[in-house]
Structure 1
Amino acid sequence: MTDGRFTPIEEYGFVGNLETCALVAPNGSVDWFPFPHVEGPSILAAVLDPDRGGRFRVSPTGPFEGSQRYVERTNVLETTFDAAGGTATVTDFFPPAGKVDHPKKVLYRKVDCTEGSVDLQVEYEPKFDYGRADTAFVRTEKGVRAEGADERTLLEVPTDLDVADDRVTGTLAVEEGDTEWVLLRCTGAEDADTDPEGALADTIRYWREWVETCRDEGSGCIFEGPWHDLAVRSGLALKLLTHEETGAIAAAPTTSLPEDIGGVRNWDYRFNWLRDAGFTVQALSSLGNAEGATEYFEWFVDLCRADDPEAIQPLYGLHGDSDLDETELDHLDGYRNSRPVRIGNDAADQTQLDIYGELLLAVDEVLQLGRELDDEEWETVRNIVEYVRDVWDEPDAGIWEVRGAERQFVYSKVMCWVALDRGIDVATTYGYEAPVDEWRDTRETIEEDVLENGYDEDVGAFVQAYDTDALDATGLLIPIVGFLPFDDERVQNTIEAIEDRLLEGEVLVRRYDGDDGLPGDEGAFVLCSCWLIDALALSGRIEEAADRFESLTEYVSSLGLLAEEVDADAGAQLGNYPQAFSHIGLVNSTLYLGHVRGYESPGAEPMGVRLGDPVDPEDG
């Protein structure tokens, strides 16, 4: 049974300004809004606690039905209310930071009445600093100012407002043809000049110009075909998760949306994982957004240059912050009573050896786009590869950040091999100085070790770790990153074993089937489902892969958005939302399906798969 106080995760719309974001429910309520940046404290967090989190709602006073859509090819969100007396639409957006000449710290809510007449209730209940700060309200000539902790907001509404019980309320009556503006000005924009209509027009123009890089008409783009719009929407979501100042990409804009309803698998994802690097650069470059891919590359290379390889963290704040200590917010009940609510993430302190391979994949990808490395950047890359030579045989926490004893994870070994392999390829292809012969020796040693200890003959597959018979969906990446060819019997055996043990229904794939030390279950991982599709497509099982991809699209929200996981039984989305990894997987699966069907990519070659490598479907 669901709790009616909570909106299903997949029903939220998502808007932002390339610094922060907001989740908007179909009932017109903004239920999540961190400020001033996506990793900052929330002003509104009803998604985590309807009573203590805070919300900003504009919706009809009587019964209504709400629906949402994005203005075509933009991140401007429209919520339409069909009420007894008429129809009204609320258009939500932020001007993108640094892209248009309008204040970026203003949430614009345009109210249009398109039929009849509608009375709308405005309810603003800010709860600064995750609801931990006291809130003070002050009336001004423009509206009502709210203050808490170190932040302020100014609510402007063209009607009288009442303040009582830490809540601002008012009624906005509109008739057919009326347009009204509701503005939430945040710290630094209280007195800024605003031109709402101009801000809307310029914001729409910016997003549509950005999307032009993904057009398919007459371009021969790899995204031609039935999934073009889905890939473009994923690209728009990824761009909205990108921090304009640094180029860093948040894994998700939310914290503690649960992987298991009522359970403890609730994490803060408002940071940048270096592991995402290779997959993200691939997705952005394949969408034609070489500039975004390069900016992201430059950001994380600069981070790695600042630290010696041993000190590189698996994740950082979007401004490069390294102190991400995890804290539990005991005063919040959590989404559908899923406790604890966490801010910060202790995985930043883990050892995760796979990240070095993913960094080298990103380096390889960006070089294919024509970006060259300067001497200092190459020194950073070379130091990473040298470090991998020293540590590849050590245990670690793995890609899934297991919170227990470190182990000899197969995927971590494979990605150490990738670091050596791509380091060799980059050095020899582009003429950078490196001890290539020594790197080749280490690469061969890692390969022999993985083949001897990572493949279990009794299981008939590559396993999760050297000391277990558990399977892990990362086994699907072994051929994708080039460790073994797709027609290798061990690769095909692993795909079949994963289909047998980790697949639920047509396409939903769980991450692994071993014990991870945490209570409760979790949903199927969207990215792993994409990996299965990729492995099938590149193994020559093209139509099967396309059919499974079509099945996966059924779980995408009506707005084209995806959380981290899917409940295989209920079909509901789980985990933080929208999830970059899920959208990266969606884009890259579209890439691979296009690749095997003969389309050309506007960016670099598919990651790990040199053109021509996939199995011929007649032989697959």
Structure 2
Amino acid sequence: MSASMIAEYGLLSDCASAALVSRDGSIDWWCPGRFDAPSVFGRLLDADAGHWTLCPVASSDRRTEREYVDDSLVLRTVHHTRDGDVAVTEGLVAEPGARGHELGQNSPMVLARVVEGLSGTVRMRCEYVPRPEYGLIVPYLHCRDGEVQADAGPLTLILRSPVPLDCAHGRAYAEFDVRAGQVLGFDLAFAPAYGPPPRHLDPVPALAETVEAWRVIRELHPYDGRYPDLVRRSALVVQGLTYRPSGAVVAAVTTSLPERLGGTDNYDYRYAWLRDFILTVRALWVTTCPEETGRLFDWAARSAGRTGDEPVPIMYGATGERDLSEYSLDHLRGYADSRPVRVGNDAWHQRQHDVPGLLIGAHLLQDEIRDLSEESKALLVGLAEQATHWREPDAGMWEDRGPGRHYVASKAMCWGALDSAVKLAPLLGPRADPERWATVRDEIRATVLRDAWNDRVGAFTGAIGSLELDASVLVMPGTGIVPATDPRMRATIEAIATDLTTDGLVRRWPDDPAGFVACTFWLVECLAMAGETARAAALFERAAARANDLGLFAEQIDPRTGAHLGNTPLALSHVGLIGAAWRLTKPSFV
């Protein structure tokens, strides 16, 4: 059996690592320990890279329903078969007693699954095929006393099973009956090979504790705006993508899921992008969690360190690692034969002018609720100085790996950086230079309004001198460089709505293979800011309906088939939904 369609997967998270489980009950992706660790289940990228399946034996005439338990990331799947009904409840469990933001601080690294007979008698199968190091290692399995121990390379895995398992050739298997009222718990514990042994937790109470931990997080994130159910789900996904020990929010939990099936644009998204910083901060701020936005600021300042003439890296590892050098896993076939499969991301050393604007703007949003440390002041001054180099080309928001260009969104972000820095200058100490910053800021605006507009296209194009539309310019009204009501910005919005939008999904550029979820929500915001609230709401609702049955979005969606594409679940897609919902609530929100 190969990997399921991307939209068929549900997310499990303990705010340190994540797993993906298919509708059919197969865990096809788990990187225990932290989001960017090597996988032990990697069938998502290769049929032979490991999985753990727990589902009814009969596949025909089976109907499946699933939902998260009480707004947690504990998943309950009900399988309806001819012989009866059975539920599987599963999750990456919380530390016993952990509540709210304590979740993930000291993760026990245990994956628990509980089978419950609901009616009749259902024949089930358990197939456990661990393949550590992205499928490179076939471990020896030792079956004894209800446990299956796998010792392989740098890790130990112990599966506790209530049913006997037959072990052979790195695979453990069992078929068993579940009667109505019967409850069977499985738990899989991970630990590094040369440390304390894996922890074991009773699956039933462990999952109940985990639901309670997530419930407290939900209560810490009240939201008073339109589409509250959708916003709460997306906020929970953002929480699930947060590496709690540092506060960083990773872009996604997967690597190398393709933008185009069979294509080569397959990248590792298990890192934290500063590009997404202000949007994530705003999402957390909208859901009223200043504690987490503060931790995110601290992470960014610590990760960036002292700034100099070199540009600030656009992304970091979850604990602030800079060197994310990329390499290929040539032994993996890739999702839908999409190669290469990559680990690391060479975009980490690109120049992107949007980074200063995102970081400084994020601090401006927060300056009333937290004091700036000396490190933060130094960082903000350094970022403002970097924004004064706005005339240099960069890689742009979409991380073009070719020669740099003069991307319009990047220029707008430099304008936003300096505009925010001028406003923050009284808090930044003696190194602040607001008069010079204001002069450069005004130069940027004059240049963008003069040179970014293209009469032949009738819109602001993606790069100065280009004839190609690019949805990245939808960020311009949000920076303040030009209002959405400006006639040329309105014309640009209409051009994107007409020429880059198919079935309610916005592509980034004309040849983009599918709609980019975040860009669709940015168009919603622009329409709302332009005063077209009803039209914006209709587009929002149409886009939100494209989520999978659990409310999850990947990076892109094919407007013809509805198939999700790219890495999943994508933080930028979900913070885009939150931002659009809030913009529809308060169109004048900055």
For Structure 1 versus Structure 2, the TM-score category normalised by the shorter chain is over 0.9
* CA deviation profile, 1:545-568 (whole Å, cap 9, x unmatched): 011111112211110000000101
- Which residue in 1 is equivalent to 2:230? 230
- Which residue in 1 is equivalent to 2:272? 272
TM-score by length of 2: 0.95
1:561 corresponds to which of 552, 556, 566: 552
**Displacement after TM superposition at 1:121 (Å):** 0.7
Letter in 2 for 1:376: E
- Which residue in 1 is equivalent to 2:399? 401
1:26-425 aligned within 5 A: 26-50=23-47, 52-63=48-59, 64-96=62-94, 99=102, 104-187=108-191, 190-215=197-222, 221-223=224-226, 227-308=227-308, 310-368=310-368, 370-389=369-388, 391-425=389-423
2:464 corresponds to which of 444, 458, 466: 466
- Which residue in 2 is equivalent to 1:538? 529
* CA deviation profile, 1:453-480 (whole Å, cap 9, x unmatched): 1111222211111131111112212112
- The 1:306/1:77 distance shift into structure 2, 3 A limit, reads farther
SS of the residue aligned with 1:44?
coil
The answer to whether residue 517 in structure 2 is matched with residue 513 in structure 1 is no
**Displacement after TM superposition at 1:571 (Å):** 1.2
Letter in 2 for 1:380: L
CA distance in 2, matches of 1:309, 1:235: 36
Contact 1:523–1:568 (8 Å) recurs in 2: yes
Letter in 2 for 1:204: V
CA distance in 2, matches of 1:283, 1:372: 20
The answer to whether residue 20 in structure 2 is matched with residue 23 in structure 1 is yes
Contact 2:138–2:170 (8 Å) recurs in 1: no
CA distance in 2, matches of 1:476, 1:117: 55
Contact 1:309–1:384 (8 Å) recurs in 2: no
SS of the residue aligned with 1:465?
coil
The answer to whether residue 569 in structure 2 is matched with residue 570 in structure 1 is no
**Displacement after TM superposition at 1:16 (Å):** 1.2
**Displacement after TM superposition at 1:306 (Å):** 4.2
2:500 corresponds to which of 499, 502, 505: 502
Letter in 2 for 1:155: L
* CA deviation profile, 1:65-110 (whole Å, cap 9, x unmatched): 3222111211110111112221111111112366369962110101
Choose 445-454 or 264-273, whichever is displaced more: 445-454
The answer to whether residue 543 in structure 2 is matched with residue 552 in structure 1 is yes
**Displacement after TM superposition at 1:419 (Å):** 0.7
- The 1:431/1:405 distance shift into structure 2, 3 A limit, reads closer
- The 1:136/1:481 distance shift into structure 2, 3 A limit, reads same
Contact 2:72–2:215 (8 Å) recurs in 1: yes
* CA deviation profile, 1:518-564 (whole Å, cap 9, x unmatched): xxx52110000001100001110000001111111221111000000
SS of the residue aligned with 1:107?
strand
CA distance in 1, matches of 2:175, 2:267: 38
CA distance in 1, matches of 2:577, 2:552: 10
- Which residue in 2 is equivalent to 1:480? 478
CA distance in 1, matches of 2:464, 2:383: 24
SS of the residue aligned with 2:310?
helix
CA distance in 2, matches of 1:233, 1:513: 31
**Displacement after TM superposition at 1:309 (Å):** 5.8
CA distance in 2, matches of 1:62, 1:383: 62
* CA deviation profile, 1:21-75 (whole Å, cap 9, x unmatched): 000011110000012211010000111112x211000111223332221112111
SS of the residue aligned with 2:64?
strand
SS of the residue aligned with 1:72?
helix
The answer to whether residue 494 in structure 2 is matched with residue 490 in structure 1 is no
Letter in 2 for 1:61: V
SS of the residue aligned with 2:473?
helix
SS of the residue aligned with 2:472?
helix
CA distance in 1, matches of 2:233, 2:375: 36
- The 1:214/1:356 distance shift into structure 2, 3 A limit, reads same
Letter in 2 for 1:170: A
- Which residue in 2 is equivalent to 1:599? none
2:585 corresponds to which of 584, 588, 594: 594
**Displacement after TM superposition at 1:374 (Å):** 2.1
SS of the residue aligned with 1:340?
coil
Contact 1:134–1:149 (8 Å) recurs in 2: no
Aligned-residue Cα RMSD (Å) equals 1.8
Contact 1:55–1:126 (8 Å) recurs in 2: yes
Choose 133-142 or 439-448, whichever is displaced more: 133-142
Contact 2:78–2:87 (8 Å) recurs in 1: yes
Contact 2:306–2:378 (8 Å) recurs in 1: no
Choose 479-488 or 569-578, whichever is displaced more: 479-488
Letter in 2 for 1:208: R
- The 1:204/1:309 distance shift into structure 2, 3 A limit, reads farther
- Which residue in 2 is equivalent to 1:457? 455
Letter in 1 for 2:378: E
Moved over 6 A (4+): none
- Which residue in 1 is equivalent to 2:3? 6
Contact 1:153–1:190 (8 Å) recurs in 2: no
- The 1:323/1:140 distance shift into structure 2, 3 A limit, reads farther
SS of the residue aligned with 1:42?
coil
Letter in 1 for 2:488: R
Structure 1 unaligned runs (5+)?
Answer: 515-520, 597-604, 610-620
**Displacement after TM superposition at 1:190 (Å):** 4.4
Contact 1:102–1:194 (8 Å) recurs in 2: no
**Displacement after TM superposition at 1:446 (Å):** 1.1
- The 1:585/1:164 distance shift into structure 2, 3 A limit, reads same
Letter in 1 for 2:288: G
1:524 corresponds to which of 504, 507, 515: 515
Contact 1:102–1:199 (8 Å) recurs in 2: no
SS of the residue aligned with 1:584?
helix
- The 1:410/1:536 distance shift into structure 2, 3 A limit, reads same
